[in-house]
Amino acid sequence: MNRILFKNDDGGVSVINPSDNALTENTIEEIAEKDVPAGKPYKIVSVDDIPTDRTFRDAWEVDEVTLTDGTGSEHNMFITDPQHPDYVASENEVTPE
């Protein structure tokens, strides 16, 4: 399993744990682009890379230089959503006229 890390506005580390259901319908990259705040860089890491002891989780740090997998989108929807500005209908999709 993988998680999505990004540096939050307080300087700490936020961890997104996508649900199994979300991962059956979308890639972890799509989830990251949708759920990471706009303009924030993120990194997808193995759950094994995240400390299991959460006692000091407010003190976790991440170097923004290592957040190289993408950047949060300005849209809080998946690109597969017809309301997304970059949505492109597939050839087989029937669109209302």
Give the helix, strand, coil percentages of the chain, each rounded to 5.
Answer: 25, 20, 60
Can you tell me the mean pLDDT for 2-22?
Answer: 93
State residue 36's pLDDT score.
94
Closest to 84 in 3D by CA, of 30, 44, 20, 40: 30
Non-local (6+) Cβ contacts of 29 within 8 A are 44, 69, 70
Q: Look at residue 20 and tell me whether its pLDDT is greater than 60.
A: yes
Residue 95 has pLDDT above 60, yes or no: no
Q: pLDDT-based confidence at 93, cuts 50/70/90?
A: low
**Spatial separation of the C-alpha atoms in residues 71 and 52, rounded to whole Å:** 26
Q: What pLDDT, on the 0 to 100 scale, is given for residue 57?
A: 84
pLDDT value for 59: 85
Summarize pLDDT for 27-82 with one digit per residue, the tens.
Answer: 999 899 999 999 999 999 999 999 888 888 888 888 889 999 999 987 665 666 66
**Any idea of the CA torsion for 96, 81, 39, 51, to the nearest 10 degrees?**
180
Overall pTM > 0.85: no
